[in-house]
A and B are shown apart, each in its own frame.
Chain A
Amino acid sequence: MSIIELEGIYTAYEGDDKPIIKDLTLHIDRSEYVVIGGPNSAGKTTLLESINGLVKITHGRATVCGFDVGKSGHEVRKKVGYVVQNFYFDPFTPFTTEQVVIMGRYGRLGLLKRPSEADYEAASKAIRLVGIEDLAQKTIGTLSGGQQQKVMIAHNLAKEPEVLLLDEPFSNLDFSAREFLQGILQDLVKRGTPIVMVSHAFDGLPDIRIHLVVMNEGRITKDLVCPAESVEEIIRETSFSKRNSESAAKRRSHGIRSGFIAPGSARSR
């Protein structure tokens, strides 16, 4: 059984009748590195938030980590890490980096329980792994955008999630920081924690096979496995030919090119 199974889901934001995600089917296995691409407002963020149940699924079936997302959203969110796309912490936010990272453990603890020695250990391990020891005692609002992104990644690593969702996590980071964090993500994948990342920056992708999902207007237009170096080209090609020919886009959304392995079919690597 896949760790993420979405079967024909529709999701709509509260108060809207028009669905954002439409009839979307996606399977993600353990130890996959998934990249989600596509133009602005294609529904990438909404897809991530459908996976962890922050946005309501109106139709279809969604099972994540063995839980029904609609019924047991809390259980899913305890196990799924999520680095959010847009955050803003004002300069007076009264929490230090260290405090923000330990908050990553809170979901697993449950109401009224205090963090234990083991929780603090996991938090400081995450801080060391991301290399932000020097920021530990600084308040998060006084850090740069890139440093804040690193803190939010550490927050999610401290959680020791079963799946890690990331929404454009590297937008404020320079190339070397990107490459460094990609290395951490690759290690997670190796140890059986799948990564699902929305991104526009593909330099520094680990040299492994990537499960690439391209979205447009709330639907998946491409779902295939390819080498890391082809990711950028395929995404560019998809959005380019989209402009040229509608019918071609339609054909692509059904068929999968030869040379790539179809989603859902037995993937071996």
Chain B
Amino acid sequence: MLEPLIQNNVVCHAVEAMVFASITCSILGVIISRMNLSSIGFTMSHAAFAGASIGMFLETSTQIAAIAFSMGVAALIGPVSDKAKMAADATLGVLFALSMAVAIFLISYMQYLGRGLSAGSLLFGDVVSLYREEIYALAAISLLSVLFVLFFYKEICAIMFNMKIALASGMRVKVVYYILLFIIALSVALCLNIVGGLLIFVWLVTPASIASQFCNNIKSLFIAAPLVSLLVSAFGVWAGFEYTLPIAPLVALLLTGTFGLAVLMSSKRKVTTRMH
């Protein structure tokens, strides 16, 4: 899609993939961090990671296996998590540990079998050897996330504000909540190839946290988070190719660095406004 702009095909695909992944994850991240769904996102991403490693071990599609596993967590966690009692926490912890154990076990075993190279990409992502179809899938999921927020904007705002008050108002928020969980699961599974199972969480929470340092308005959060994420990610891909650095970890570091900077700048801003 960006071919006219970027000469090198590999770089071009990498930028596209990173841009779509960052838009998807940061938009969902705004909702996730507001609703304290971080532990659910965390568990889903690691379940996807475990699924992908099983898929790779069995030499079937890693992507489909990843989707199946993160969707499985969504289906399992959804009914528990919307109850006020967060007994779900223990369930999430167990699922997270199980996912990590399965993934690490299989990856180590594959390394022993001499298939370690491809297994490493599961951990840290691989933006260099993407198929065109994978980029289309990423484009589709980022479009889906944007449309989801646009169509259900009213319901999403209400549940981000307060689940109980939203329920008491007579809105059908549970439907929207379940759609949300499944979109998160799908996105996490699809972005796994790009950023890796260990780092995907950075894309989910960090951009929203950066944006919330400067925005106290819901609309600006939904615009600023993907914008920041997109710019930092695109820059990271460029820098990674330019200086031959591992791209996903580099972008993760850049995002975290931006967050630190944002915290410094916003606290400075608060100090100056207080002085006036």
Name which of B57-65, B197-205, B211-219 contacts chain A: B211-219
Question: Do B158 and A106 have beta carbons less than 8 Å apart?
Answer: yes
> Closest Cβ of chain B: how far from A262's Cβ, in Å?
32
B95 within 8 A of A: no
> Chain B binding site: helix, strand, loop or mixed by DSSP?
helix
B interface, size bucket: 20 to 34
A155 to B269, CA, bound (A): 32
B155 within 8 A of A: yes
A92 to B212, CA, bound (A): 8
A112 within 8 A of B: yes
Given contacts A52-B168, A54-B167, A159-B169, contact A14 B218 (CB under 8 A): no
CB-defined interface of B149-174 with A at 8 Å, one 1/0 digit per residue? 00110110110111011111111100
Closest chain B residue, CB of each to CB of A114: B154
CB-defined interface of A95-106 with B at 8 Å, one 1/0 digit per residue? 110011001101
Residues of B within 8 A of A240 (CB): none
Name which of A78-86, A178-186, A226-234 contacts chain B: A78-86
> Closest Cβ of chain B: how far from A66's Cβ, in Å?
15
Partner of B218, one of A95, A104, A113: A95
Partner of A108, one of B155, B160, B167, B170: B170
Partner of A100, one of B161, B170, B212: B161
Question: Do A94 and B167 have beta carbons less than 8 Å apart?
Answer: no
A68 within 8 A of B: no
> Closest Cβ of chain B: how far from A264's Cβ, in Å?
28
Residues of A within 8 A of B83 (CB): 14
Partner of A112, one of B151, B165, B168, B218: B151
A113 to B151, CA, bound (A): 9
Q: List 19 A-B contacts (CB under 8 A).
A: A76-B170, A77-B167, A84-B168, A87-B164, A89-B162, A94-B160, A94-B218, A95-B218, A99-B157, A100-B161, A104-B169, A106-B166, A107-B171, A109-B154, A111-B152, A111-B171, A139-B217, A152-B165, A155-B165
List residues of B whose CB falls within 8 A of some A CB.
34, 83, 85, 151-152, 154-155, 157-158, 160-162, 164-172, 175-176, 212, 215-218, 221
Q: Which 7 A-B pairs have the closest CB atoms?
A: A107-B170, A78-B170, A77-B170, A107-B169, A94-B218, A82-B168, A107-B171
